[in-house]
Chains A and B, each alone.
Chain A
Amino acid sequence: AQSVSQHNHHVILSEAASLELGCNYSYGGTVNLFWYVQYPGQHLQLLLKYFSGDPLVKGIKGFEAEFIKSKFSFNLRKPSVQWSDTAEYFCAVNRRGYQKVTFGIGTKLQVIP
């Protein structure tokens, strides 16, 4: 069965600091990878996704993630965070050809002005 590990459960950063959230998955086959974000009081929404091709994926609001197949990793990055990035971030994976998505436990990011 596939699983997703997020290493940081709670991250506190000052504005303009750089962000990197770790994500590793366990499935050895072909996968699709996602980062979802949930802003306070809002629905889960897709931040970015990787299906194939360039392993460096750019998403909304200046976020990017890099797929490193040899490390089974899909870390999320942002060079300079803003207070409005305060949210919970979920890494997720699904096996290619299947619709079931497995989510990580989530990382709560708090950005201090």
Chain B
Amino acid sequence: GAGVSQTPSNKVTEKGKYVELRCDPISGHTALYWYRQSLGQGPEFLIYFQGTGAADDSGLPNDRFFAVRPEGSVSTLKIQRTERGDSAVYLCASSLDTGGVYNEQFFGPGTRLTVL
């Protein structure tokens, strides 16, 4: 079956612009996660969805970042007024229903965002 897919694979934008990054999880996975990986760093947690709701958004760096998952499947990470410091690879992962117990997260290929 298909894995986690993310589009676009690369996004170049100018400072101040708005961007949307899309994640399509593995079918049947109710949990979805966004991470950001800056150059030379490990993935940094941003937000976790269980179904349609954000169960933990403690990693979003500021109010320019927002994510939605309206139907409990595809998710969109939205960044307003982009800054050069937002340049990174944005990773999405999904897992089975956690039920309070950790389940393995399957990662997508990421979207490389470059803010000029």
Asked if B107 and A45 make an inter-chain contact with CB atoms under 8 angstroms apart, the answer reads yes
Given A99-B55, A100-B58; A44-B104 close (CB under 8 Å)? no
The verdict on B31 contacting chain A, using a C-beta distance below 8 Å, is yes
| Cα of A113 to Cα of B45 in the assembled complex, Å | 36
The verdict on B85 contacting chain A, using a C-beta distance below 8 Å, is no
Given A32-B102, A49-B104, A51-B102; A100-B43 close (CB under 8 Å)? no
Given A94-B102, A99-B48, A99-B102; A43-B107 close (CB under 8 Å)? yes
Q: How large is the interface on B (under 10, 10 to 19, 20 to 34, 35 or more residues)?
A: 20 to 34
Chain A residues, Cβ within 8 Å of B58: 100
Asked if A99 and B33 make an inter-chain contact with CB atoms under 8 angstroms apart, the answer reads yes
Asked if A101 and B107 make an inter-chain contact with CB atoms under 8 angstroms apart, the answer reads no
CB distance from B36 to the nearest CB of A (A): 11
Which of B3, B33, B55 is close to A43, meaning CB atoms less than 8 Å apart? B3
Given A45-B107, A99-B31; A90-B48 close (CB under 8 Å)? no
Binds B, one of A13-21, A63-71, A76-84, A102-110: A102-110
| Tally of A-B Cβ pairs under 8 angstroms | 52
Chain A residues, Cβ within 8 Å of B4: 43
Q: How large is the interface on A (under 10, 10 to 19, 20 to 34, 35 or more residues)?
A: 20 to 34
- CB-nearest residue of chain A relative to B102? A32
Given A43-B108, A44-B107, A46-B104; A105-B40 close (CB under 8 Å)? yes
Given A46-B104, A49-B104; A103-B31 close (CB under 8 Å)? no
Chain B residues, Cβ within 8 Å of A92: 42
14 A-B pairs whose Cβ atoms sit less than 8 Å apart in the complex: A43-B107, A43-B108, A43-B110, A44-B91, A45-B107, A49-B104, A96-B102, A99-B33, A99-B102, A100-B58, A100-B59, A101-B105, A102-B45, A103-B42
4 shortest A-B CB distances, which residue pairs? A103-B42, A44-B107, A103-B43, A43-B107
Residues of B within 8 A of A (CB): 3-4, 31, 33, 35, 40-45, 48, 50, 55-56, 58-59, 91, 93, 98, 100, 102, 104-105, 107-110
